[in-house]
Structure 1
Amino acid sequence: MPAQQPQGKMTVAEYLEMERASLDIKHEFYDGEVFAMVGASRHHNRINVNIAGELRTRLKSKPCDLFSNDMRVKTGVEKYSYPDIVLYCGDAEFEDNKFDTLTNPVVIIEILSDSTEAYDRGDKFELYRRLPTVKEYILVSQKKYWIGQYVRQQSGQWTYDSYEGVEQVLKIESVGCELPLSEIYLNMEEGWQK
């Protein structure tokens, strides 16, 4: 989980007012508590650019689109987060007329880091899977060729699959896209794998 801000509990209105006025730091919100988002590594940024670029190209002829990094998603009554990449289909739906809080994500992608991995795999996934529009949740390693994918089935159950190795292809069925891991990890510096 991101670093918690040392302040008392806030209301949703106070959080949104503060967040909309903040120009340099993003904050996630969880039941009245505010958490500052930490900066991303160069590997994280490279992977994000690669995924967003590939998805943008593949989605041009489809009724789906994406936001990267700065689109806040409402994940509950008093919960807001910033996924690394979020895809939606049809018209984007927003919480209010500020158009900065998406409410109908279909696919959420998080790039794992040491400081957020446990939260991304646990409590954050719990929040995302409660959203009725979310069909897929994808976790991307920034240390090696590895992707974990959770897919909501018709029954409501979630299935899990993982992709390892440069020759693998991630299939994002809910938006009809395939992304080769070789493209997701394109231009990573030598020696980045551990």
Structure 2
Amino acid sequence: MGSAMRMNLDEFLQLEEQAEATSDFWEGRIRARTPVYYRESLIAVNLLCELREKDQDVLGSNLLVEVTPGELVAYADGIALIDEPQFTDSRELVLTNPGVLFEVVSAESSEWDRGEKARHYRGCPTLRQFAFVNAETPEVEVWTRGEDGNWSAQSWQGLDTVCSLDSLNCRVPLAEIYDGVAFTGTQSG
């Protein structure tokens, strides 16, 4: 998945700016991103549009996020800002203070998103919540950092449910997140 060549973040960013395809920087290596298909893209856009309609400051998947300094700099499928954005440099290429991160999870991306990437998300000091939005079925799993620093998860299933993003003080209907998405089999809602 990743290249064997080790590099520092500056070297990665120089390569990334010239690359035709985007990659994540993980522990000194380049990690190719999982392809994003129509369904995942539609779900991400629906979610971000719904949050934008609720006056949230959101960003798409084209901005790198410094999750763990020197260890993981990656693209998320969506970003919500809670504070004024801060960056590693004046070019505003790498965001350093995400408030909420969103990952649209498919069979191809699940192991990375829910595994190593989620482990790093839990270590990001500015992150208050992160969410896994299932691409195969209407389900959203939100992880929230408690005041004690521990993380807890809550999930919502079915098109008739509404997920809570407490750190953004808003609720998002799953029917809006999955608007226009065709599912195989029977889905609730």
TM-score by length of 2: 0.93
Alignment map for 1:41-190 (pairs within 5 Å):
41-59=37-55, 64-78=56-70, 79-189=72-182
Letter in 1 for 2:59: F
Alpha-carbon distance between aligned partners in 2 of 1:193 and 1:122, rounded to the nearest angstrom = 29
Question: What secondary structure, in the 3-state scheme, does the structure 1 residue paired with 2:88 have?
Answer: coil
Per-residue deviation at 1:193? Answer: 6.5
Runs of 4+ in 1 over 6 A off after TM superposition: none
Shift of residue 155, structure 1, vs aligned partner:
0.8
How far is the alpha carbon of 1:39 from its aligned partner? 2.1
Deviations 1:64-97 (A, max 9, x none): 5111111100112222110000111231111111
* Aligned residue pair count: 186
Note the C-alpha offset of 1:38.
Answer: 3.0
Q: Partner of 1:13 in structure 2? A: 10
> Alpha-carbon deviation of 1:36?
1.7
CA distance in 2, matches of 1:40, 1:53: 18
Structure 1 residue 190: deviation in Å? 5.2
Task: List per-residue Cα deviations over 1:90-118 (Å, max 9, x = no partner).
Answer: 31111111101111101011000112201
Q: Is the 8 A contact 2:78 2:102 kept in 1?
A: yes
Task: Indicate the residue corresponding to 2:31 in structure 1.
Answer: 35
- Could you tell me whether the CA contact under 8 Å between 2:136 and 2:183 is conserved in 1? no
TM-score (norm 1): 0.90
CA distance in 1, matches of 2:132, 2:33: 18
Superposition CA RMSD, Å: 1.6
Letter in 2 for 1:187: G
The Cα of 1:148 is off from its aligned counterpart by 0.8
The percent of aligned pairs where both chains have the same amino acid is 26
Q: Once the 2 structures are TM-superposed, how far is the Cα of residue 191 of structure 1 from its aligned partner? A: 2.8
Query: Partner amino acid for 2:154?
Result: D
The amino acid across from 1:4 in the alignment is G
Change (3 A) 1:42 1:31: same
Superposed CA offset, 1:38-58 (max 9, x none): 321111011011001111111
Corresponding residue SS for 1:29: strand
- d(CA) in 1 for partners of 2:6, 2:14: 14
